């Protein structure tokens, strides 16, 4: 698809005018994925487009119904139900499974599996890809993942997450022990990573409690008071104990086991009829890693 600009402006604004029903996030994805060229070269969203310049799109942006998670029975079979209520469900997501699809038609995510078992969730969320999810876990993180079955529950839980009213505890296997019991370093997204940034970073707060330790590793219970991208991973690295296997943040690999070892072990949801406490059992992969580390 080719678009000829009639007036000068930023590349992302030109596309936004051409696709008025598509949100800014979908437009930004085109640039992030390298799908936009300006006069034959890869374009960035802030590039200046002169009148008469040509923008080439490898694909049109998608929005609305096309982005909703499609039911995927194979993904559903990989999810264990930890709690099922008329207003909310909690599943145990395995490590290696994305929380939600990133593009139209993608399968294999937790949201796809939830849509197969609870079809009403697929239509719930601020982002069409949410599929009812009120938060997300990294692909490599296992454990408790919460989805709303009603719009009212979605809004209430999203507000509770934003207000820091959700108790979230993680278990992490780390290289060494944290040198602090808590970390309040502000975090900013820098590409694929979260970086400590005391000027532009957003407030983030994590506490640490070492449950077991050897000379080389520790089993650390982490309580995340906020919900920044990669918060626990970045904060553990900042206090000298990167998660084992987390190469993005300096963790050393564990022989015989791929990936890193972070498990969303406990979550407490403030529901209208009282707190709902969910414990997510350690998956077999995490238990094998603990044994390999002497924990």
- Mean pLDDT confidence for 152-175: 95
pLDDT over 90 (residue 191): no
User: Quick one: pLDDT at residue 65?
Assistant: 66
pLDDT over 90 (residue 238): yes
User: How many helices (H) and strands (E) are present in the chain, helices listed first?
Assistant: 7, 17
The yes-or-no answer to whether 2-61 and 64-162 have a common fold is no
SS (H, E, C) 162-219: HCCCCEEEEEEEEECCCCCCEECCCEEEECCEEEECCCCCECCCEEEEEEEECCCEEE
The DSSP code for 111 is H
* The two structure tokens encoding residue 114: 């939830």
CATH, domain 64-162, list 3.30.2350.10, 3.40.50.720, 3.30.920.30, 3.40.50.300 = 3.30.2350.10
User: Quick one: pLDDT at residue 220?
Assistant: 98
User: Quick one: pLDDT at residue 35?
Assistant: 83
For tokens 């051409």, name the residue. Answer: 18
For a pLDDT cut of 70, what percent of the chain falls above it?
Answer: 95
The mean of the pLDDT values for the chain is 91
User: Quick one: pLDDT at residue 175?
Assistant: 98
Q: Measured between alpha carbons, how far is residue 240 from residues 96, 125, 250, 277 in Å? A: 25, 37, 10, 31
Measured between alpha carbons, how far is 140 from 214 in angstroms, rounded to an integer?
24
Would you call 138 a catalytic residue per the annotation? yes
Residue with the bigger pLDDT between 161 and 67: it is 161
Sign of CA dihedral 153, 159, 162, 163: negative
Least confident of 78-92, 102-116, 238-252: 102-116
- Domain spans in the chain, listed from the N-terminal domain onward: 2-61, 64-162, 164-295
Q: Which of 12, 72, 130, 138 does the annotation list as catalytic?
A: 138
User: Quick one: pLDDT at residue 209?
Assistant: 98
Tally the C-alpha atoms within 13 A of residue 190's C-alpha that lie toward its C-beta.
Answer: 13
User: Quick one: pLDDT at residue 67?
Assistant: 76
The CATH number given to 164-295 is: 3.30.2350.10
Q: What is the pLDDT of residues 11-55, one digit of tens each?
A: 888 877 777 766 777 777 777 878 888 888 887 877 888 877 788
> What's the fold here for domain 2-61?
3.10.290
User: Quick one: pLDDT at residue 237?
Assistant: 98
Least confident of 18-27, 63-72, 121-130, 196-205: 18-27
Q: What is the pLDDT of residues 57-101, one digit of tens each?
A: 887 676 666 778 999 999 999 999 999 999 999 999 999 999 998
């Amino acid at each position: 698809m080719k678009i000829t600009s009639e007036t000068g402006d930023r590349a992302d604004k030109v596309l936004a005018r051409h696709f008025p029903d598509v949100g800014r996030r979908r437009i930004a994805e085109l640039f992030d994925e390298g799908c936009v060229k300006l006069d034959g070269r890869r374009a960035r969203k802030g590039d200046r487009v002169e009148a008469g310049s040509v923008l080439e799109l490898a694909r049109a942006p998608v929005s609305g119904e096309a982005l909703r998670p499609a039911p995927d029975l194979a993904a559903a079979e990989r999810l264990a139900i930890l709690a099922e209520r008329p207003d909310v469900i909690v599943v145990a997501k395995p490590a290696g499974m994305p929380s939600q699809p990133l593009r139209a038609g993608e399968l294999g995510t937790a949201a796809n599996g939830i849509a197969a078992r609870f079809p009403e969730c697929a239509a719930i969320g601020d982002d069409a890809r949410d599929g009812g999810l009120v938060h997300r876990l990294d692909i490599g993180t296992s454990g408790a993942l919460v989805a709303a079955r009603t719009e009212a529950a979605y809004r209430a839980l999203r507000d509770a997450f934003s207000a820091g009213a959700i108790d979230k505890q993680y278990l992490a296997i780390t290289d060494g022990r944290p040198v602090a019991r808590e970390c309040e370093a502000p975090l900013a997204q820098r590409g694929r990573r979260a970086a400590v940034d005391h000027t532009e970073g957003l407030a983030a707060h994590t506490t640490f409690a070492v449950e077991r330790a050897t000379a080389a590793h520790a089993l650390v219970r982490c309580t995340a008071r906020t919900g920044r991208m990669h918060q626990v991973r970045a904060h553990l690295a900042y206090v000298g104990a990167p998660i084992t296997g987390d190469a993005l943040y300096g963790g050393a690999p564990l022989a015989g086991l791929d990936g890193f070892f972070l498990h969303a072990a406990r979550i407490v949801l403030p529901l209208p009829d009282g707190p709902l406490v969910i414990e997510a059992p350690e998956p077999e992969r995490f238990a094998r890693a603990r044994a390999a580390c002497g924990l």
